[in-house]
């Protein structure tokens, strides 16, 4: 087994991290427009109103809204065969609950999609990547409220019809699988997913359970809708899955690591197995959590299973043992693995982890996998007029090799590899520009200063060579 000839090579970007133009052509305010820049030491601040003295990186992004043609030209030059973009709901429905869409928003994404197709790049379109009109949070309480499912479906129906026949690959949600009702969360995490701060939730266990359930239900309903609109549509969901290994072989620690790792999977189960998992329902019953679910939901789960799994993979960590030990914590829970090097932002670099998750997913669900995000956030320096990012090449080379091993040696069905942020863009967790992932450098600093000019890093030519050889010339 080798990678198929039509394997997708490319990258993934998200509207709120690259577009800017936050008030142009009728776009409404969305959740990330209220989040300031932070750093790996200082969390991003979430404000009620826009404070002109503060810096909100989504307002400018990297100006993709105006420069997308040039960016797509560079992606084409690298040989991309796919680009995953997201549609910002607030460009299509500025408040989220309108009946009639904003035509200028539909036109913008129509132009981007046409540009991709003209360059033989397959558009893979995410319908929700941390982009929720703020009105739906303030007026309806976000995804806690089942009415938001109907608004989401109306939005999905609008764009599925608008780009019907042009877009075949759709993604219902990006990474909404980190909301465990029994785990304490950081504000930015719950905010990214649902526009709500964890610290302000009156009853976080109930709220997170309902948000998680309603988004999962919305996802399977959107799958049914996409199939009704066009049976040729392929519709999947993107999950962020970072393995949590056992601290040691002490059996209770092994069991704990299994449960910690499994925490992120109940929505994958629900979207792939045709039913919301019983173990989760029973857990909610034991916690006296009323999901406000309806008996008709079962049919949506039964008929709305996804066609493919999108995997966002960056790092792994280890589960904190039952007897606490000294150790640095890791972003998705657990502690750092002493066998691994970390990125400057403390993300444990583990190429074997991607092969591990791919095997786990494929053996459990037998669905095609697209690696929808992977990459190294690093500080780049310009030397002799360019960025010599051998550290990024090293990271990607090892991860792509592990993906190939999963396909060639373990027989996992993987149909594409999309690196995160093929062009530098705003970091979601910290809001910094200096946390760069791209093959293409964007002249913009953390203070929002710079010419926005695009230039190629060393990794640009390297990735071009990988794509040209379909991953053979690693």
* By CB under 6 A, residue 353 contacts ligand BG6: no
8 A C-beta contact, residue 225 and residue 160:
yes
State which of residues 142, 185, 242, 429 lies at the interface with ligand BG6 (CB under 6 A).
429
- Give the span between the Cα atoms of 29 and 33, in whole angstroms: 6
- Give the span between the Cα atoms of 435 and 50, in whole angstroms: 24
Sign of CA dihedral 429, 435, 436, 442: positive
Binding mask 381-420 for ligand BG6 (x = CB under 6 A): ---------------------------------------x
DSSP classification of residue 237: E
- Give the span between the Cα atoms of 350 and 366, in whole angstroms: 24
* Contact window for ligand BG6 (CB under 6 A) among 75-83, 270-278, 294-302, 421-429: 421-429
* Catalytic annotation, pick one of 122, 175, 320, 373: 373
8 A C-beta contact, residue 113 and residue 165:
no
- Give the span between the Cα atoms of 299 and 276, in whole angstroms: 11
* By CB under 6 A, residue 444 contacts ligand BG6: no
Nearest to residue 343, comparing CAs of 380, 394, 378? Answer: 378
State which of residues 233, 312, 319, 374 lies at the interface with ligand BG6 (CB under 6 A).
312
* By CB under 6 A, residue 190 contacts ligand BG6: no
202: CB partners within 8 A, 6+ apart:
none
* By CB under 6 A, residue 316 contacts ligand BG6: no
Structure tokens at 200: 């302000």
* By CB under 6 A, residue 85 contacts ligand BG6: no
* By CB under 6 A, residue 373 contacts ligand BG6: yes
Question: Tokens 């069991």 appear where?
Answer: 255
* Contact window for ligand BG6 (CB under 6 A) among 242-250, 361-369, 428-436, 465-473: 428-436
- Give the span between the Cα atoms of 262 and 124, in whole angstroms: 27
State which of residues 377, 422, 438, 471 lies at the interface with ligand BG6 (CB under 6 A).
377
Residue 382 phi/psi, 5° resolution?
-90, 120
280: CB partners within 8 A, 6+ apart:
266, 269, 270
Residue nearest to ligand BG6 according to CB distances in the complex:
429
* Contact window for ligand BG6 (CB under 6 A) among 43-51, 58-66, 211-219, 422-430: 422-430
373 is catalytic: yes
* By CB under 6 A, residue 233 contacts ligand BG6: no
Name the residue nearer to ligand BG6 (CB basis): 86 or 214. 86
* By CB under 6 A, residue 380 contacts ligand BG6: no
Distance of CA 332 to the CA centre of its chain: 14
* By CB under 6 A, residue 240 contacts ligand BG6: yes
State which of residues 185, 267, 427, 446 lies at the interface with ligand BG6 (CB under 6 A).
427
* By CB under 6 A, residue 219 contacts ligand BG6: no
Residues binding ligand BG6 (CB under 6 A): 14, 17, 174-175, 240, 312, 373, 377, 420, 427-430, 435
Residues with catalytic function:
373
């Amino acid at each position: 087994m080798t990678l198929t000839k039509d394997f997708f090579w490319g990258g993934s970007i998200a509207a709120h991290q690259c577009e800017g133009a936050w008030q142009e052509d009728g776009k409404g305010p969305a959740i990330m427009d209220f989040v300031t820049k932070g750093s790996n030491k200082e969390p991003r601040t979430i404000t009620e109103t826009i404070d002109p003295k503060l810096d909100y990186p989504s307002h400018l992004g990297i100006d993709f809204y105006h420069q997308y043609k040039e960016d797509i030209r560079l992606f084409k030059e690298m040989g991309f065969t796919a680009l995953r973009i997201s549609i910002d709901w607030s460009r299509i429905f500025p408040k989220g609950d309108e009946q009639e869409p904003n035509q200028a928003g539909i036109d913008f994404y129509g132009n981007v999609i046409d540009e991709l197709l003209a360059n033989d790049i397959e558009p893979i379109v995410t319908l929700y990547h941390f982009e929720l009109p703020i009105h739906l949070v303030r007026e309806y309480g976000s995804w806690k409220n089942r009415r938001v499912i109907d608004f989401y479906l109306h939005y999905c129906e609008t764009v599925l019809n608008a780009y019907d026949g042009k877009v075949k690959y759709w993604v219902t949600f990006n990474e909404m699988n980190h909301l465990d009702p029994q785990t304490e969360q950081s504000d930015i995490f719950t905010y990214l997913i649902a526009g709500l701060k964890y610290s302000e939730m009156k009853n976080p266990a109930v709220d997170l359970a309902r948000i998680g359930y309603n988004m999962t239900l919305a996802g399977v309903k959107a799958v049914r809708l996409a199939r009704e609109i066009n049976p040729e549509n392929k519709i999947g969901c993107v999950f962020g899955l970072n393995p949590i290994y056992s601290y040691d072989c002490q059996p209770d620690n092994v069991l704990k690591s299994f449960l910690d790792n499994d925490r992120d999977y109940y929505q994958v189960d629900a979207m792939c197995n045709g039913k919301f998992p019983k173990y989760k329902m029973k857990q909610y019953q034991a916690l006296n959590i009323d999901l406000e679910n309806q008996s008709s939901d079962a049919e949506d789960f039964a008929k709305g299973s996804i066609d493919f799994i999108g995997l966002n993979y960056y790092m792994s960590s280890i589960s904190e043992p039952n007897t606490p030990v000294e150790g640095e914590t890791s972003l998705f829970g657990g502690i750092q693995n002493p066998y691994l090097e970390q990125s400057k932002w403390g993300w444990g670099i583990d190429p074997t982890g991607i092969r591990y998750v791919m095997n786990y997913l494929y053996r459990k669900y037998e669905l095609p996998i697209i690696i929808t995000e992977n990459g190294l956030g690093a500080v780049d320096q310009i030397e002799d007029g360019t960025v010599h990012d051998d550290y990024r090449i090293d990271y990607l080379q090892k991860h792509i090799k592990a993906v190939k091993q999963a396909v060639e040696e373990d027989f996992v069905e993987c149909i594409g590899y999309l690196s995160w942020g093929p062009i530098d863009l705003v970091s979601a967790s910290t809001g910094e520009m200096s946390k760069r992932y791209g093959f293409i450098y964007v002249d913009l600093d953390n203070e929002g200063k710079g010419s926005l000019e695009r230039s190629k890093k060393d990794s640009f030519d390297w990735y071009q060579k990988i794509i040209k050889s379909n991953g053979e010339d690693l």
